[in-house]
């Protein structure tokens, strides 16, 4: 039903929640897991790469459409209930077929645009602040 950016934005928002959770629990994760301490040994500023994680979660939301467009699966198969794990993809696509819900298409597209706009502005400000902290920390050394 919604445009593809809606599914991407849903995935990106879930990715953002994962990133925020890792950020909030990083001290606990550092104490508990050796591989997490290894991240700090490899690159103290490893957190700067987390927009890639957000993008990967966004791409997960597009998997049903990718499978259909590439011809790997038929449209009917990508509308099966299994594909609801990709941010309710099947459910929203089935609603698209109902004429009384045509206005929801526009609403979902607006929601996707607001999600992406908010996410991009939030990431921009977060990484500006984080970059300033890293530069200030390196100047003190």
- pLDDT of residue 50 exceeding 90: no
Give per-residue pLDDT as tens, 114-134.
Answer: 999 999 898 889 888 888 888
Taking the whole predicted model, whether its pTM rises above 0.85 is answered as no
Domain coordinates in residue numbering, the chain: 4-140
Q: Kindly state the tokens that stand for 63.
A: 């998997």
Rounded Cα distance, 108 and 118, in Å: 15
Q: Which of 110, 125, 63 is nearest to 90 (CA)?
A: 63
């Amino acid at each position: 039903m919604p445009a593809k950016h809606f599914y991407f934005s849903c995935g990106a928002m879930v990715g953002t929640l994962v990133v925020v959770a890792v950020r909030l629990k990083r001290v606990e994760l550092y104490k508990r897991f050796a591989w997490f301490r290894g991240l700090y040994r490899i690159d103290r500023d490893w957190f700067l790469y987390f927009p890639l994680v957000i993008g990967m979660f966004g791409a997960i939301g597009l998997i049903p459409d990718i499978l259909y467009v590439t011809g790997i699966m038929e449209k009917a198969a990508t509308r099966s209930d299994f594909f609801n794990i990709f941010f309710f993809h099947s459910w929203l696509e089935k609603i698209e077929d109902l004429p009384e819900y045509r206005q929801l298409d526009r609403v979902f597209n607006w929601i996707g645009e607001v999600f992406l706009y908010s996410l991009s502005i939030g990431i921009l400000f977060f990484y500006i602040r984080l970059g300033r902290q890293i530069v200030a920390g390196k100047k003190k050394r």
